[in-house]
Homo-oligomer: A and B are copies of this chain.
């Protein structure tokens, strides 16, 4: 199943179409946001095309014409998710000069995102494809890359801290980045399990403890 991208790359322009045929009757980005929310709540496979169509307010052929297929819709929703909910927080994490403050702030922000009252609980990238069928290769691989990218960001930030002398040069960067990533992904499961924000924040505050002692 490969993603069909015959739609013109509108890239968020106000007048996104202006071709020859009948104009699209729905707003593509609004529909995408609705789809994102359902994928976020249910996960990739349990979110059925039928229910996606309902929340998007369109019929199946419109969905397929605009997004290719279910996998294509999900992947676009996932990129929209990343950009909308994590891009800024990650940027701040990389920019904050003090490693300990960067980690503390990042996990505090993460707890807020994972339990925002306006959105579903937990992280789409961590949770949406946990028990996905093995033949959804495209979706599996894309999500895995996304998770791997987060771990790489942790590693990059740690190497930065080594260069600035905040942690020892012989720090096991892959293992420590892996530990931070493990803790972050674990937080998504906790968020799904119905914890209060106060509880999740108290837990998230332990992330800095994973770092070596300040020197």
Contacts and interface: CB of A to CB of B under 8 A. Distances in A.
B190 A130 contact: no
Contacts of A43: 130-131
A192 B134 CA distance: 13
A126 interface: yes
A176 B206 contact: yes
Contacts of A174: 199, 202
Contacts of A192: 130
Interface in A15-53: 42-46
Interface string A130-145: 1111000000000010
Contact of A186 (B44, B130, B185, B206): B185
Contacts of A131: 42-46, 127-128, 130-131
Q: How many copies does the complex hold?
A: 2
A203 B179 contact: yes
A42 B45 CA distance: 13
A205 B192 CA distance: 26
Contacts of A199: 174-175, 178
A76 interface: no
Nearest to A129: B131
A19 to B, nearest CB: 38
Contacts of A115: none
Contacts of A205: 175
A22 B192 CA distance: 46
Interface in A183-215: 183-187, 189-190, 192-193, 195, 199, 202-203, 205-206, 209-211
Contact of A189 (B182, B193, B203): B182
17 contacts: A45-B46, A46-B133, A127-B131, A130-B189, A144-B193, A175-B206, A178-B190, A178-B199, A178-B203, A179-B206, A181-B186, A182-B183, A182-B190, A183-B186, A185-B190, A206-B210, A209-B209
